[in-house]
């Protein structure tokens, strides 16, 4: 019998149809597994007494991790909800600190920029109003020499050295790495202390540049009262010679203006002598009255232009430094714990559903492959066995009207000269009722009334039959039983008109 039984290939289309016919059962099994999985997770989250927020690997986020080679790489980290909250709180605090540091650094740089801009305005104002720089005429200069000699009194002023200028501008503190070489040099010039003066020279200098005399000098030249100190110092300059002698230089564009300055200087001489009359005897002489060399004016103009450009460069550098203030903020995100629960429930529910469907599909596929039933007419490989029709009235395929018509006509033709017809089947009559009905109608058309239905075991009836027709039902008949049925009939030398698949 096994010689007729060959390896059966899997009919994927029929298998798919078979599984579709079990779709309700598959879905039911999947829902049962899904519900069971959801119930398990709900108990684990809500009823087990454990904190869901402490469950590991609940939330994922990116964290910058320093590599052995010194580079920083963003890596995904998984943590519990509470660990995630702690990490986000740490990031928020760190970001606040970074913002504060950046804000402080920006405020410091802005303050430095304002100081430099004020210096720039003063420098521009000075250069716009400067008598020497804006003059295209030959300028004049008168130099007066002063010599002080101590008087022999008890309370004589001792010539102790003092700092000429006690005011030192505050130097902004910035990171050394961010300062250019030019700025370092400029700062060094700002904080550089000038040569030390004696108390006498210091007093003479202070008196010369009091508001009273600066206004007098400005008025003598027709300058505005708010003229900058630098503008006055350009025209009225005191130069130390030694601890008891100094000179005062007066410059202007005409001789008359120099004479006006000398008149104011006469008032200065009187007040200086009056202040120091008990301590010193002051002698003064004019030692020169001459034209200012053009080279001096050109040198002064070049120096002031360089200072102006230096201020402009420093301001631009500070603005660039302001834009380059680092602000590295770590990303901060938020997660809703209730949404995490719903997500977990959904994962377990769909996971359970998928597992249930997988198990059910595997089980029904195994049933299809290993139940030993007849699933396709091609499973029966007999050379002389004709297939009259294939009426797929199975659990997953309905009968075709064309196949029913084919069966009817095949029976009419094959049984035309027959007196009796026997239908052999391993199944009960109730399982092949559609085939029986068609065959009876075809036989009645030929006037044949002798029609019997027997089992394969009824060999006597089979051997006495005038014509034999086999009827089996796809997905119901056992493959081995059908093959045994055919072999047994052939062994008694009985011809089979054909087989009908229902």
Full residue range of the structural domain in which residue 42 is found? 2-58+337-370
* 130 φ, ψ (degrees, to nearest 5): -60, 135
- 112 burial type by CB count under 10 A (0-12 exposed, 13-18 middle, 19+ buried): buried
Domain total in the chain: 3
The answer to whether residues 154 and 274 belong to one domain is yes
What pLDDT sits at residue 405?
Answer: 84
Of the two residues 326 and 165, the one the predictor is more confident about is 326
Give the pLDDT band of residue 267 (cuts 50, 70, 90).
very high
In a domain, 324, yes or no: no
What pLDDT sits at residue 246?
Answer: 94
Specify the DSSP class assigned to residue 469.
E
Q: Which of 370, 393, 424 is the endpoint of a domain?
A: 370
What pLDDT sits at residue 117?
Answer: 94
Would the pLDDT of 1 be above 60? no
What pLDDT sits at residue 394?
Answer: 64
Mean pLDDT of 440-461: 83
Residue for token pair 């004479």: 259
Give the pLDDT band of residue 397 (cuts 50, 70, 90).
low
The answer to whether residues 344 and 395 belong to one domain is no
The answer to whether residues 147 and 241 belong to one domain is yes
The answer to whether residues 365 and 425 belong to one domain is no
In whole angstroms, give the CA distance from residue 246 to residue 216.
Answer: 21
Nearest residue to 107 (alpha-carbon basis) of 139, 115, 72: 115
The answer to whether residues 354 and 394 belong to one domain is no
- 417 burial type by CB count under 10 A (0-12 exposed, 13-18 middle, 19+ buried): exposed
- DSSP output for 9-68: PP-HHHHHHHHHHTHHHHHHHHHHHHHHHHHHHHIIIIISS--GGG-TT-EEEEEEEE-T
Would the pLDDT of 48 be above 70? yes
The answer to whether residues 29 and 145 belong to one domain is no
* 144 φ, ψ (degrees, to nearest 5): -115, 135
In whole angstroms, give the CA distance from residue 472 to residue 456.
Answer: 12
Mean pLDDT of 422-438: 85
Contacting residues for 236 by C-beta, under 8 A, at least 6 apart: 208, 217, 248, 249, 250, 251, 261, 265
In a domain, 235, yes or no: yes
Give the pLDDT band of residue 169 (cuts 50, 70, 90).
very low
The answer to whether residues 216 and 285 belong to one domain is yes
What is residue 479's three-state secondary structure? helix
Model confidence pLDDT, tens digit, residues 337-383: 888 888 888 998 999 999 999 999 999 888 877 777 777 776 676 77
The answer to whether residues 27 and 146 belong to one domain is no
Give the pLDDT band of residue 261 (cuts 50, 70, 90).
very high
What pLDDT sits at residue 7?
Answer: 45
- 231 burial type by CB count under 10 A (0-12 exposed, 13-18 middle, 19+ buried): buried
Would the pLDDT of 236 be above 80? yes
Residue for token pair 């003066």: 197
Contact between 463 and 418 under an 8 Å Cβ cutoff? The reply is no
Give the pLDDT band of residue 395 (cuts 50, 70, 90).
low
Of the two residues 453 and 399, the one the predictor is more confident about is 453
In a domain, 388, yes or no: yes
Of the chain, the percentage scoring pLDDT greater than 70 comes to: 87
In whole angstroms, give the CA distance from residue 349 to residue 340.
Answer: 14
The answer to whether residues 259 and 228 belong to one domain is yes
Would the pLDDT of 129 be above 90? no
In a domain, 181, yes or no: yes
What pLDDT sits at residue 133?
Answer: 86
User: Any idea what the CATH number is for the domain that residue 441 is in?
Assistant: 3.40.1010.20
* Beta-strand pair 196-198/498-501: unpaired
What pLDDT sits at residue 308?
Answer: 92
Give the pLDDT band of residue 331 (cuts 50, 70, 90).
confident
Give the pLDDT band of residue 116 (cuts 50, 70, 90).
very high
The answer to whether residues 153 and 274 belong to one domain is yes
Of the chain, the percentage scoring pLDDT greater than 90 comes to: 31
Output the six-digit token pair for 468.
Answer: 């034999």
In a domain, 149, yes or no: yes
The answer to whether residues 271 and 408 belong to one domain is no
The mean-pLDDT minimum among 169-173, 252-256, 267-271, 475-479 falls in 169-173
In whole angstroms, give the CA distance from residue 418 to residue 443.
Answer: 10
In a domain, 121, yes or no: no
Contact between 451 and 443 under an 8 Å Cβ cutoff? The reply is yes
What pLDDT sits at residue 183?
Answer: 52
In a domain, 359, yes or no: yes
What pLDDT sits at residue 147?
Answer: 93
Q: Which of 269, 291, 313 is the endpoint of a domain?
A: 291
In a domain, 210, yes or no: yes
Would the pLDDT of 282 be above 80? yes
What pLDDT sits at residue 191?
Answer: 41
* Summary mean pLDDT of the chain: 82
Give the pLDDT band of residue 409 (cuts 50, 70, 90).
confident
Give the pLDDT band of residue 108 (cuts 50, 70, 90).
very high
The answer to whether residues 272 and 188 belong to one domain is yes
Of the two residues 94 and 195, the one the predictor is more confident about is 94
Would the pLDDT of 291 be above 70? yes
What pLDDT sits at residue 50?
Answer: 82
Choose the most confident range, by mean pLDDT, from 70-84, 167-181, 287-301. Answer: 287-301
């Amino acid at each position: 019998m096994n010689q007729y039984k060959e390896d059966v290939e899997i009919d994927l289309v029929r298998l798919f149809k078979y599984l579709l016919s079990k779709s309700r059962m598959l879905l039911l099994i999947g829902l049962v597994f899904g519900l069971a999985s959801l119930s398990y997770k709900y108990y684990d989250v809500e009823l087990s007494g454990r904190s869901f927020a402490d469950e590991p690997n609940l939330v994922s986020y990116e964290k910058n991790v320093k590599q052995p080679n010194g580079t920083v790489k963003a890596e995904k980290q998984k943590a519990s909800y509470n660990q995630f909250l702690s990490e986000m709180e740490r990031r928020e605090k760190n970001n606040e600190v970074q913002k504060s540091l950046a804000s402080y650094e920006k405020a410091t740089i802005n303050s430095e920029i304002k100081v430099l801009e004020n210096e720039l305005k003063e420098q521009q104002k000075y250069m716009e109003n400067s008598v020497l720089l804006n003059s295209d005429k030959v300028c004049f200069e008168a130099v007066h020499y002063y010599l002080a000699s101590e008087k022999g009194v008890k309370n004589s002023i001792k010539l102790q050295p003092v700092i000429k200028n006690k005011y030192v501008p505050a130097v902004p503190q910035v990171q050394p790495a961010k300062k250019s070489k030019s700025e370092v040099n400029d700062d060094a010039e700002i904080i550089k202390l000038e040569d030390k003066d004696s108390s006498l020279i210091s007093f003479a200098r202070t008196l010369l540049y009091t508001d009273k005399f600066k206004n007098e000098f400005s008025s003598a030249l027709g300058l505005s009262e708010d003229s900058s100190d630098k503008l006055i110092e350009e025209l009225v300059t005191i130069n130390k010679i030694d601890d008891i002698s100094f000179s005062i230089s007066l410059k202007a564009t005409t001789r008359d203006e120099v004479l006006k300055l000398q008149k104011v200087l006469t008032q200065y001489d009187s007040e200086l002598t009056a202040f120091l009359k008990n301590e010193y005897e002051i002698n003064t002489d004019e030692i020169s009255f001459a034209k200012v060399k053009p080279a001096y004016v050109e040198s002064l103009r070049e120096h002031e232009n360089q200072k102006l450009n230096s201020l402009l460069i420093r301001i631009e550098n500070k603005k660039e430094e302001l834009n380059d203030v680092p602000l590295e903020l770590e990303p901060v995100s938020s997660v809703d714990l209730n949404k995490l629960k719903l997500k977990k429930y959904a994962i377990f529910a769909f996971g359970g559903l998928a597992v249930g469907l997988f198990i059910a599909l595997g089980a029904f596929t195994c049933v299809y492959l290993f139940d030993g039933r007849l699933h396709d007419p091609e499973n029966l490989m007999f050379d002389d066995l004709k297939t009259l029709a294939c009426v797929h009235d199975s659990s997953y395929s309905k009968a075709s009207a064309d196949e029913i018509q084919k069966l009817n006509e095949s029976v009419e033709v094959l049984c035309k000269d027959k007196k009796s017809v026997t239908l052999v089947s391993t199944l009960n009559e109730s399982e092949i009722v559609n085939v029986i009905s068609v065959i009876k109608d075809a036989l009645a058309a030929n006037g044949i009334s002798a029609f019997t239905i027997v089992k394969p075991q009824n060999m006597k009836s089979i051997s006495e039959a005038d014509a034999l027709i086999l009827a089996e039902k796809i997905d119901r008949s056992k493959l081995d039983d059908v093959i045994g049925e055919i072999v047994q009939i052939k062994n008694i030398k009985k011809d089979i008109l054909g087989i009908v698949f229902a």
